[in-house]
Amino acid sequence: MSIKDSGPDVVIVGGGFAGVTAARELTERGRSAVLLEARDRLGGRTYTADHDGHAMELGGTWVHPLQPHVWAEIDRYGVETETFPVLEGLRQAVVSGGRVVDLSDDDIAQAIDALAQYCAPGTTLFPEPYSETWGPDPDGLGDRSMRQHLETLNVTPLLRDWVEAMCSLLAFGPIDQAAATEYFRIYALSGWSAEQMLAALSATKLVKGTRELIGAIAAQARLADIRLNSPVRRITQNDDHVRVELTDGDTITAPTAVITLPMNVLNTVEFDPPLSQTKRTASAERHAGAGMKCYVRVKGDIGNVAVLAPEAQSVNWVVTYDHDANGSWLIVFAANPKRLPMKSFDDIAGMQEALQPLLPGVEVESIVGWDWSNDPHALGTWCIYRPGQLAQVLPELRTTEGRLFFASGDSSESWRSFIDGAIESGYHSARHVDEYLTAAGHQTLSPARLNSPIKA
Ligand SMILES: Cc1cc2nc3c(=O)[nH]c(=O)nc-3n(C[C@H](O)[C@H](O)[C@H](O)COP(=O)(O)OP(=O)(O)OC[C@H]3O[C@@H](n4cnc5c(N)ncnc54)[C@H](O)[C@@H]3O)c2cc1C
């Protein structure tokens, strides 16, 4: 019997790391799936694009051995990693007091100490960062924004500007809209070490890009029929099955579904019966991640340089990606794109203006990027909860509703907001679906069938 004859065991909505991992895990458990992806590619908020001889990551990039799920996958498929090359002999600076201040090794050590001070509540709030629970929180830190928590930090103006820039970078949105607990959590996940946290956030990447890893996982999802260009518009469920309707009118029916839509996108699909009020409210208010990452080609060899800038600047981090005598590629992060004088990725003059406070005199030649916040299938960047959302929405976003199981990097247990969290959520959802189907008497495919691909 094929999927065509019997229908799949599960429909997976979304082909990012969460959905593709769920598809592979279901295959490993002898379950068949149809995976529906709206885009013409897998990867979702990871996107490796070829440009000027580089495999540029327009979305998720950095991975680290501290992230157990993604690292296990890297190991499993023998995917090559590299330390971000520019860390060698890197000139580090911060915009402070209206000028660019170069940082000595001592300054950097002090800055990392200041960040550790900022994150210190992570020790008591997240004593077991890989578990679902957190707290107790007698001081109400869960409702505190990164900005409010910054006001409690007693350090020099230079260090404060550095930590503020780091807040902007992680929030990737206005820091008064991002929860301070997001920093505490990642600090805890990094072994309660600010130094390890910085390494986890931006030191190691995949040589051929994230597309190699997701491709390897997808290739092993042999019992999944992966359909690109298949946007879902409506999902209904009753006592017997789930019915998924695509925008072209096609429908697929299965006993279960795994929904991997980003939190900000959940409300763009119609659910009948409607999703829980908490899920709908979370999707309507969105998470705070709304920044802009892009690659900028500039004239001349600017060497290995990284400049941070506090929130008042329209660019909050610029770091060399590659450089030679012909010119340099930079990666640019802007936490508040509304502040950018640049209006589109063609706006060379706007980007040049935005970069001047960080790299005076720099001359921009071209820009490559992806506008995640206006991408209808993402509506935001990585997931950074607003104050209060950790307690109010996280448990519910993961909660099964009838035959619908939920997986996403936006609601995973530990490295939420990361590729690692998306993979973790894919593992969990596949296990839960398999247990559900077993309890409902749905048999798995025989081991012989597992070895024969059933994709069309
Ligand atoms: C700019 C940027 C930089 C980042 N940097 C890092 C980093 O360095 N390291 C790191 O670990 N993480 C990073 N992240 C976060 C990481 O990329 C995400 O957390 C992770 O990829 C989320 O995976 P997911 O499968 O949960 O969601 P997604 O990847 O968003 O997958 C969901 C899928 O659902 C699809 N979809 C949406 N609507 C529909 C529909 N109606 N029908 C069918 N399909 C639909 C989408 O197209 C998408 O493919 C970054 C993200 C961004 C945007």
The pLDDT of residue 455: 43
* Residue 72 tokens, joined: 């296990």
Whether 125 and 175 map to the same domain: the answer is yes
Residue 37 assigned ligand-binding role? yes
Q: How far is the CA of 383 from the centre of ligand 1 (A)?
A: 9
Mean pLDDT of the chain: 94
The CATH number covering residue 237 comes to 3.50.50.60
* Spatial separation of the C-alpha atoms in residues 224 and 3, rounded to whole Å: 9
Atom of ligand 1 lying closest to residue 409 CA:
26
Q: How far is the CA of 363 from the centre of ligand 1 (A)?
A: 32
* pLDDT tens, position by position, 92-113: 999 999 999 999 999 999 999 9
Whether 178 and 118 map to the same domain: the answer is yes
Q: How far is the CA of 371 from the centre of ligand 1 (A)?
A: 13
* pLDDT tens, position by position, 356-412: 999 999 999 999 999 999 999 999 999 999 999 999 999 999 999 999 999 999 999
Evaluate if residue 2 carries a pLDDT over 60.
no
* 162, 190, 218 - which closes a domain: 190
Q: Higher model confidence: residue 447 or residue 162?
A: 162
Answer whether 60 contacts ligand 1 (Cβ < 6 A).
yes
Whether 11 and 132 map to the same domain: the answer is no
* Spatial separation of the C-alpha atoms in residues 182 and 128, rounded to whole Å: 15
Whether 270 and 222 map to the same domain: the answer is yes
Q: Higher model confidence: residue 384 or residue 343?
A: 384
Whether 175 and 233 map to the same domain: the answer is no
* 136, 155, 190 - which closes a domain: 190
Whether 14 and 154 map to the same domain: the answer is no
Strands 242-246 and 251-254 turn out to be antiparallel
Euclidean distance between the first and the last CA atom of the chain, given in angstroms as a whole number: 14
Strands 327-334 and 317-324 turn out to be antiparallel
Answer whether 48 contacts ligand 1 (Cβ < 6 A).
no
Answer whether 422 contacts ligand 1 (Cβ < 6 A).
yes
Whether 131 and 269 map to the same domain: the answer is no
Q: Judge whether 12 lies within some domain.
A: yes
* Spatial separation of the C-alpha atoms in residues 135 and 313, rounded to whole Å: 34
289-306 burial by CB neighbour count: b if 16+ within 10 A, else e? Answer: bbbbbbbbbbeeebebbb
Answer whether 414 contacts ligand 1 (Cβ < 6 A).
no
Answer whether 19 contacts ligand 1 (Cβ < 6 A).
yes
Peptide bond into 136 cis (omega under 30): yes
Looking at ligand 1, which residue's alpha carbon is closest to its atom 22?
Answer: 409
Residue 218 belongs to domain spanning: 3-45+209-287+380-450
Whether 115 and 171 map to the same domain: the answer is yes
The pLDDT of residue 343: 87
Looking at ligand 1, which residue's alpha carbon is closest to its atom 12?
Answer: 418
* pLDDT tens, position by position, 218-248: 999 998 899 999 999 999 999 999 999 999 9
Q: How far is the CA of 378 from the centre of ligand 1 (A)?
A: 7
Q: How far is the CA of 314 from the centre of ligand 1 (A)?
A: 24
Whether 184 and 218 map to the same domain: the answer is no
Whether 122 and 253 map to the same domain: the answer is no
Rg (CA), the chain: 22
Strands 91-96 and 99-102 turn out to be antiparallel
* pLDDT tens, position by position, 280-323: 999 999 999 999 999 999 999 999 999 999 999 999 999 999 99
In a 13 Å sphere around the CA of 51, the CA atoms on its Cβ side amount to: 17
Evaluate if residue 423 carries a pLDDT over 60.
yes
Q: How far is the CA of 226 from the centre of ligand 1 (A)?
A: 17
The pLDDT of residue 132: 83
* 190, 223, 247 - which closes a domain: 190
The pLDDT of residue 323: 92
* Residue 339 tokens, joined: 């502040």
Q: Judge whether 137 lies within some domain.
A: yes
* Residue 78 tokens, joined: 């023998």
Answer whether 369 contacts ligand 1 (Cβ < 6 A).
no
Q: Judge whether 144 lies within some domain.
A: yes
